Amino acid sequence: SITKERTEVVLQGTSSLDPNDPTAVWEEYDFKCKPGDLKRRPCFITPYHYRLDWLMWFAAFQTYEQNEWIIHLAGKLLAQEEKTLSLMATNPFGGRAPP
């Protein structure tokens, strides 16, 4: 069955020196096929799935302790690892200092 509500994991980073500062600007990493922008056309590549985007959907049903790979993904995004960034639709820190 499909749920009526959709919980979603969102990965964001900030260039602020103090991430707890209320004026810190947080920028979202967009995925290639994970639902997000309601104005974006859905990504259909039947019968294939973008594996990372698919895993993100299931991760929203559990805690990060049950999905330790999310911690590793966040670390690789913070380190601006090119292979990891290639899995993303956008890198909000492209051409800038890492978050």
Q: For residue range 23-80, what is the model confidence (pLDDT) as tens digits? A: 999 999 988 887 767 787 777 766 767 888 888 888 888 888 898 999 999 999 999 9
Q: Do the Cβ atoms of 93 and 30 come closer than 8 Å?
A: no
How much is the pLDDT for 34? Answer: 79
Q: With bands split at pLDDT 50, 70 and 90, how would you rate the model's confidence at 1? A: low
Residue 14 φ/ψ, nearest 5 degrees: -140, 150
Task: Provide the residue count of the chain.
Answer: 99
How much is the pLDDT for 42? Answer: 73
Task: Please work out, in degrees rounded to the nearest 5, the angle formed at the alpha carbon of residue 71 by the alpha carbons of 38 and 6.
Answer: 30
62 token code pair: 């559990």
Tell me if residue 12 falls in helix, strand or coil. strand
Residue 8 has pLDDT above 90, yes or no: no
Specify the pTM: 0.80
